[in-house]
C-alpha cells in the first residue's frame, strides 16, 4: 500500500508540473492538455487521499482499546472475598474483642468474669452489625405463634423441622423468627495482597 501511495504522489507531481509547462511547448496538444489535465490532477489527488487513508496504522484502535481497559475498574483479585471476610472479622475484633474472647481459654474464669467480658463483646459487636448491616427479623410474629409458609418460598428463608409432607403452604409453630439483611455496607478493600489475607489485629508492642 505504501508503494502505491508513493507512485500516486509522483504521478500527481508530474501532472502538476505538466500543467505549468507553457502552451507553446505543448502545441499542438495545448487544447487537449487544458481539457484533460485538471481532471487528471483531481483524480490523482483523490486516489492519493484514499491511499493515504488506507495506509494509516492499524494500531490506533488497539491502543484506544488498551487505554479503555486500563481506565476501567480493576477486577477484584481471587482472594478479594476472603480478604473482606477477614476485614469484617477485624472490625468485630476492634469494636467488640470478638477474636480475643473466642480464642481465649475461659474454663478457669468465673461466670461473673465471663459475663463481664460477654457484655463488652455484646455491645461492641452489636454496634458493628447495626453500622454495616440492615438486620431485620424474617418473621414479625413472636416465637410460639402459628405461621403459614406460602408456596414458592425461598429455601434459605425457612428451615422446616418435624413431619414434612405434601407441598406448601405449610402451617406450623414459629420456633425462631430468623434474621435477614436488607442492606450491606461493608468497607471495600483496595490493594489486596495476593500472597496472604489482611491481618485481623496487629501485634501491639510497647517500646522504651
The string of pLDDT tens digits covering residues 84-105 is 899 999 999 999 999 999 999 9
The pLDDT-based confidence of 35 (bands split at 50, 70, 90) is low
pLDDT given at position 96: 93
Query: What span, in angstroms and rounded, lies between the C-alpha atoms of 167 and 201?
Result: 49
Q: For residues 40 and 18, is the Cβ–Cβ distance under 8 A? A: no
Angstrom distances, CA of residue 150 to CA of 27, 56, 136, 154, 158: 103, 66, 19, 10, 11
Q: What is the pLDDT of residue 75?
A: 46
Percent of the chain's residues with pLDDT above 70? 62
In the predicted model, what is the mean pLDDT of residues 55-82?
Answer: 58
When pLDDT is cut at 50, 70 and 90, the band that residue 144 belongs to is very high
Is a pLDDT exceeding 80 seen at residue 26?
no
Q: Is the pLDDT of residue 142 over 50?
A: yes
Q: Is a pLDDT exceeding 60 seen at residue 23?
A: no
Of the two residues 194 and 129, the one the predictor is more confident about is 129
The mean pLDDT of the chain is: 79
Average pLDDT over residues 166-184: 95
Higher-confidence position of 3 and 106: 106
Give the pLDDT of residue 28: 58
Between 44 and 156, where is the model more confident? 156
Ordered by start, the domain boundaries in the chain are 2-71, 77-137+192-200, 139-177
Amino acid at each position: 500500500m505504501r508503494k502505491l501511495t508513493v507512485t500516486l504522489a509522483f504521478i500527481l507531481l508530474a501532472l502538476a508540473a505538466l500543467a505549468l509547462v507553457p502552451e507553446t511547448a505543448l502545441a499542438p496538444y495545448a487544447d487537449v492538455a487544458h481539457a484533460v489535465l485538471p481532471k487528471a490532477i483531481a483524480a490523482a489527488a483523490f486516489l492519493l487521499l484514499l491511499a493515504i487513508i488506507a495506509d494509516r496504522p492499524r494500531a490506533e484502535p488497539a491502543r484506544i482499546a488498551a487505554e479503555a481497559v486500563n481506565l476501567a475498574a480493576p477486577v477484584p483479585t481471587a482472594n478479594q472475598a476472603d480478604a473482606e471476610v477477614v476485614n469484617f472479622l477485624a472490625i468485630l475484633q476492634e469494636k467488640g474483642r470478638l477474636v480475643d474472647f473466642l480464642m481465649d481459654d475461659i474454663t478457669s474464669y468465673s461466670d461473673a468474669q465471663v459475663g463481664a467480658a460477654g457484655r463488652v463483646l455484646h455491645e461492641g459487636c452489636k454496634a458493628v452489625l447495626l453500622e454495616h448491616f440492615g438486620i431485620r427479623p424474617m418473621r414479625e410474629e413472636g416465637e410460639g405463634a402459628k405461621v403459614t409458609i406460602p408456596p414458592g418460598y425461598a429455601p434459605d428463608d425457612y428451615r422446616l423441622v418435624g413431619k414434612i409432607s405434601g407441598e406448601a403452604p405449610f402451617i406450623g409453630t414459629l420456633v425462631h423468627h430468623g434474621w435477614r439483611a436488607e442492606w450491606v455496607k461493608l468497607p471495600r478493600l483496595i490493594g489486596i495482597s495476593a500472597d496472604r489475607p489482611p491481618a485481623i489485629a496487629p501485634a501491639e508492642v510497647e517500646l522504651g
